[in-house]
Structure 1
Amino acid sequence: MTGAGIAVIAVLALLLFGTGFLLGRTARPVRTSDVGTPVEHATFETLHTASLAAPPLRAGLTEESARRSARGLRSLLGTDALCLTDRESVLVWDGEGDHHGTDVMHQVEGLLASGRDTAFHSDCGDLDCPLRWAVAVPLTVDHRVLGTLVAYAPRESAVLARAAGEVARWVCVQLELAELDRSRTQLIEAEIKALRAQISPHFIFNSLAAIASFVRTDPERARELLLEFADFTRYSFRRHGEFTTLADELHSIDQYLALVRARFGERLSVTLQVAPEVLPVSLPFLCLQPLVENAVKHGLEGAVTPSRPAGTARAGDGPIRVTISALDAGAEAEVVIEDDGTGMEPERLRQILRGEGGTSTGIGLLNVDERLRQVYGDDYGLVIETGVGAGMKITLRLPKYRAGVHGS
C-alpha cells in the first residue's frame, strides 16, 4: 500500500471513529493491559481491514476483485450495503437489500457521464428493507471513470457521503497501481520481444548452414548441433516467466556458443568459470545472452568471408577469447563477460546507454541495463569498461534474493 493510501485510510479511521459512524462494530472493553487508546485501536482495525481489501483491487476493477474486496470496503464504511459497478453493470452487491441492485446502473448513469458524486433516495416500498438512501462516488483513473462505489444507509448522512468519498479515493489509488502493474508487464514483454528480435536471421541461417556442413562428414555432430539449436530457440522464444535462473541462462548461452563454435572452429576460445552456489540466483529473462552475443560479435566481426567454409580460420588470425564468470560475492552474484575484440569508443558507449545506439548492439546493451535498474535499482546497472582495440568487459551484480524476483 502506498503512503498516500495509508494516509487516506488513517484520516478516514479518525473521521469515522470521531463521529461515531462505525456502525455495527462492537467496542470491546479497554483493559489496563491493552496498549493504545480507543482511537488508536479503531485506526489499527481500519488499517487492517484496508490491508485485506487492497490486494484484490491490485488486479483492477473486475467482477472477481470486486467480490473479494466488497466485504472489507463495506466494513470500512460500516454501512448496511455496498455496491461496486463498472461502466456497464453491477460487479458485486454486499449486504442487505440486494433487490436494489437492479436499479443501480440507472441511478449512476449521470455520475458515469459527469464524474461527480451523487446521492439519491432508494425507497423501494418494502417496509422491512433498511435501505432508504445512498451515495454514489466515481472510481477514476487518469481522469477516466471506470465505475462507481455506491454505499447504502437507512437515512441521509453527510458523514457517510464524506467517508464514501475517502474510501473511493483509496480504491482509486489501488486501481492506479493496478494500471501501473499492467503497464510495467506490457513494457517488460515489449522489451523481451525487442531482445528476441535481435536474434538475427543471419545467425539462424549461419547456424543451420554450419549444421548442414556436418551432415555428411560428421552426422553425429550434426545431430548434436541440431538439438542444441532446437533447445536454444525454444528457450529464447518461451512465453512464460519474467525471470529465469542463472543456471538456465548459462545453459542457453552454452548452447549458443556451441553453435558459434561450429561455424568459427578454433578461432573462438571461451573460458567459463561458475561458482555452483550462484546457479539458483534469479535474474531477468534474456539478461546475459545479449551480452555474450555482443562479446562474440565484436570479437569475431569480419572474421569470416563467404568464400571460407565454416569451422576454418583465416590465415594469420589469432583466436578471439571470451571469458564468462559467475562468482559468489556474499549477498550477490557477480557476473563478468569479457572479450579481447575490437572494443569501442567510450563516447560511443555513453551514447548507447543514453538510448542513442540505433544498432542491435545498442538496443541489447541498453535493454539489459534498463531492465536491471528497473528490477534491482540504479545501483545494479551494467558496468562497462572498453576502448578502441581494447576489448570490452561487462560486469553486473545480481542480488541473491530480491522480493518478487523468482526464476521460473
Structure 2
Amino acid sequence: MVGYGSPMSTSGWMLLCVTGTFLGFILPRRRPVLSRRPDDLPDEATFVTLHIAAMAAPSLRAGLTRDSARKAVCHLRILLGTSAVAVSDAGGVLAWDGGADCQRAHASEHARIALASGRPHVVIGDAFTCDAPGCPIRGAVVVPLVVDGRAVGALAVYDTALSAVLVRTVTEVARWVSGQLELAEFDSSRRRAMEAELRALRAQMSPHFVYNALTTIVSFVRTDPERARELLMDFADFTRYALSGARDFTTLAEELHCVDRYLLLERARFGDRLRFTVRVAPEVLSMPVPFLFLQPLVENAVKHGVGAATGPGEVRVVVEDAGSEAHISVEDDGRGMSPERARSLLGGDSRRGRGEGGIGLANVDARLRQIYGEDYGLVVESELDAGTKINLRVPKIHPW
C-alpha cells in the first residue's frame, strides 16, 4: 500500500474513498500512458485539490452534524494527506478517519482546548500523550471552525511529523470548512425567513378570506343546499392546501388548482360581478414553484378589480412558457393605482398596505427575491382608472 502524503496515494485514496471501486487506480502505474511535461504537474495537483474540495462541500453545506462530518472527514484527510483527521463540535468528536486510533480518546480534549481559546492549537512534545508502543504519530494540529464569529467546532489533524507548512495548510483548510458552514447557516437562516413569511401570509389570509367564504356558503344553505355543499367542498379543498404543513415548493399545477378553488368561492360571493379567465401553457404545469405564491396575487386582483368597484370586474391569469422560465401575469381592470402606491405596496408599508393586499404582495415579492435573486421580484404595471397588471418570472429549475 502506498504511504500517506505521496501524490499517488492521494489520488488513489480519493477514488477508493469516494467510490469503493476502480481498485486498479490505487497502485502507481509503472509507465504513464501519456508523456507529460513537468509544467503539467501543478495543473494536475490543482485539479485534484479542487475535485476533493468539491466532493466535501455538499456535506459541509448541510451544517456541522454527525452525519455531515462523517461524509466530509474522508475527503478532508485526502485533501491534507495526513495520517488521521477528526472533526468535533462542542459535544465531542463527530467523525474520525485514518489511523492513529490511539489518539481517538484524546481528540475531544484537543478540540476543547482549541474551542476555548478560539485559536489554532499545536499538540507536540510533552503535551502529546500516546500510550501505544511504537506509535509513529508525533503530534496534532487543531484549528477552530468559526461561524459568525463563534467557534462551533474543530478540525484536528494527526501526523508523523509536524511543520510550519502543515500548520498553515490545516489552518487554511479549516478556514475553507468554516466558509462552507457559514453558507449552511445562511441557507438555514434564509429557510427560516421564508417559513416566517409563509406563516405571516397564512395569518393574513385566514381572517379575511375564511370569514367571507363561510358567510357566502351560509347564504346558500336554505336557498340552494346543493350549491352550499359544493362550495363547502371547494372551501375544504382550498384550506387543506393553503393551511397544510410547511413546505417550500409545490408544482404549478397544484398552485393553479388552489387558485381555481379560490376563484370559484369568490365567484359565489360576487356573482356575475366577477369574471375571470385562466390561460396556462401545459408545458409548465409540472415545474416547481414556491408554495402559495400565486393565490395572494389573484386575491389582490379580485379586491381591486371587483371588491373596490361598483360594477363588474375581470381578473385574468396568464402563464406562458418562455424557455428556461415561465412568465406569469395577473391582471384586473379595476381602478388601478399610482406608481407611488405600487411602490408602497411592494415595500410592505404597514400604514397604507395592511388590509388591502399590500402585505401579501410584499410577502410574495420578498420570497421570490430570496429564492431566485433580486431580478425575480414582482413588476407592477398600473395607472389610475386603468387597472393593474402584476408580472413575474419563475425559473423552471429548482433553486436548491
TM-score w.r.t. length of structure 2: 0.86
Q: How far did residue 392 of structure 1 move? A: 1.0
- The match for 2:104 is 101
| Structure 2 CA distance for aligned equivalents of residues 329 and 85 of structure 1 | 48
> Deviation per CA, 1:160-179, whole angstroms, max 9, x where unpaired?
21111111111111111111
> Deviation per CA, 1:34-93, whole angstroms, max 9, x where unpaired?
587122222211211111111111111111111111111111111111111101211112
Q: How does 1:235-274 map to 2 (within 5 A)?
A: 235-274=241-280
- The match for 2:60 is 57
Residue 159, structure 1, aligned to residue 165, structure 2:
yes
8 Å Cα contact 2:346/2:362 also seen in 1:
yes
Q: How far did residue 403 of structure 1 move? A: 4.4
Deviates more, 1:280-289 or 1:352-361: 352-361
| Structure 2 CA distance for aligned equivalents of residues 331 and 83 of structure 1 | 43
| Structure 1 CA distance for aligned equivalents of residues 208 and 162 of structure 2 | 72
AA in 1 matched with 2:50: L
Q: How does 1:58-137 map to 2 (within 5 A)?
A: 58-121=61-124, 122-137=128-143
Residue 382, structure 1, aligned to residue 375, structure 2:
no
Give 3-state SS (helix, strand or coil) of 1:64's partner.
helix
Give 3-state SS (helix, strand or coil) of 1:198's partner.
helix
Give 3-state SS (helix, strand or coil) of 2:347's partner.
helix
Question: Structure 1: which 5+ runs fail to align?
Answer: 1-19, 304-316
- The match for 1:371 is 367
AA in 2 matched with 1:189: E
Residue 227, structure 1, aligned to residue 239, structure 2:
no
8 Å Cα contact 1:23/1:78 also seen in 2:
no
> Deviation per CA, 1:6-52, whole angstroms, max 9, x where unpaired?
xxxxxxxxxxxxxx775944765555455871222222112111111
| Structure 2 CA distance for aligned equivalents of residues 262 and 211 of structure 1 | 8
8 Å Cα contact 1:21/1:159 also seen in 2:
no
Flag the 1:33–1:329 CA change in 2: closer, same or farther, 3 A. same
Match of 2:174 among 168, 172, 180: 168
Q: Aligned Cα RMSD in Å?
A: 2.2
> Deviation per CA, 1:114-173, whole angstroms, max 9, x where unpaired?
201111133413223222211111100111000111111123322221111111111111
Q: How far did residue 261 of structure 1 move? A: 1.5
> Deviation per CA, 1:244-268, whole angstroms, max 9, x where unpaired?
2221111111101111122221121
Deviates more, 1:223-232 or 1:389-398: 389-398
| Structure 2 CA distance for aligned equivalents of residues 44 and 330 of structure 1 | 34
8 Å Cα contact 1:123/1:132 also seen in 2:
no
AA in 1 matched with 2:219: S
Flag the 1:168–1:22 CA change in 2: closer, same or farther, 3 A. farther
Question: Structure 2: which 5+ runs fail to align?
Answer: 11-26
| Structure 1 CA distance for aligned equivalents of residues 8 and 182 of structure 2 | 29
AA in 1 matched with 2:140: A
Give 3-state SS (helix, strand or coil) of 1:116's partner.
coil
- The match for 1:310 is none
- The match for 1:5 is none
Match of 1:138 among 134, 138, 144: 144
8 Å Cα contact 2:147/2:182 also seen in 1:
yes
